[in-house]
Amino acid sequence: MCPAPVEQDCQRGFIVPIGGGEDQLRDREILSRYLEMCGGSNAHIVVIPTASELDDTGARYQDLFRELGAGEVGILHCDNRKECNSQDFVDLLDRADGIFMTGGNQLRLSTTLGGTRVAQQIRRRNAAGMHVAGTSAGAAFVPEHMIAGGHEGSTPSPDMVTLAPGLGLTNRLIIDQHFRERERLGRLLTALAFNPFAIGIGLDEDTAAFIGPDDVMEVAGSGGITVIDPSELEFSSMDSARRDQPVSLIGIRMHILVAGGTYDLATRKARP
């Protein structure tokens, strides 16, 4: 699945995956920066709480963005695929400056939104300049290949990760979240062993990747981002390893970036 094409004289909007646990009490750096990007006091933000099973998740983020000064904040209650194909929901997205997908279970996003008119409209509007952010499960859902689940640990193994189709705003990345806190290096490496053309992005909590239309990613927040580049992979034992065996990967490149660091997804160059 390729991202929606960018029309002439348009510029793709930012994609902002967040590792979960973003600061909601003090300076709220990530959410404030995202809101300012969307237009600040003139911004129309639409919150999509589909991933969450909690009834108040959408209202909580609605209140947060209002406290930060957003002009208008709506909630898109996409609870089933029929609703995700309604014209009213598509029209609401057409007026938005930014979409924010909350945390929860990313499979609820992929099975409810995937392939619907709402998902297609998010892709089209991002290609036309609308900014899309997602935290935790919402971050995992952003790329074409989504990590749906897996096990903790640092050594890759064939049964360590479950993959599913994501939203497809980018086909360059595979994203994992709560990365350092939940020891998810092994499952991201496993996902990349299955898909060595992609770049792995492991987001710590309260940390975001602001990915611009020029495909340059800038780190923001209090944690780090682990970037794994398998483009020079020389050897992988994934094809012969049994389900519970460790996998050998030789030639992987890895970077750790903190606030202000950048990574060019096209040239695969990191800068502090």
Calculated CA dihedral for residues 106, 96, 220, 210, nearest 10 degrees: 80
Q: Considering 22, 131, 157, 178, which one is annotated as catalytic? A: 178
Strand partners, 48: 101
Question: Is residue 183 flagged as an active site residue?
Answer: no
Angstrom distance (rounded) from CA 185 to CA 78: 32
Question: Is residue 178 flagged as an active site residue?
Answer: yes
Q: Give the list of residues 6+ apart from residue 124 with CB closer than 8 angstroms, or none.
A: 4
Q: Considering 22, 144, 205, 218, which one is annotated as catalytic? A: 205
Q: Considering 136, 144, 145, 157, which one is annotated as catalytic? A: 136
Q: If we measure between CA atoms, which residue out of 225, 230, 215 comes closest to residue 264? A: 215
> How many Cα neighbours within 13 Å face the side chain of 135?
22
Q: If we measure between CA atoms, which residue out of 147, 214, 209, 135 comes closest to residue 176? A: 147
Q: Contact at 8 Å (CB) between 154 and 185?
A: yes
Question: Is residue 136 flagged as an active site residue?
Answer: yes
Q: Radius of gyration (Cα) for the chain, nearest Å?
A: 18
Positions marked catalytic: 136, 178, 205
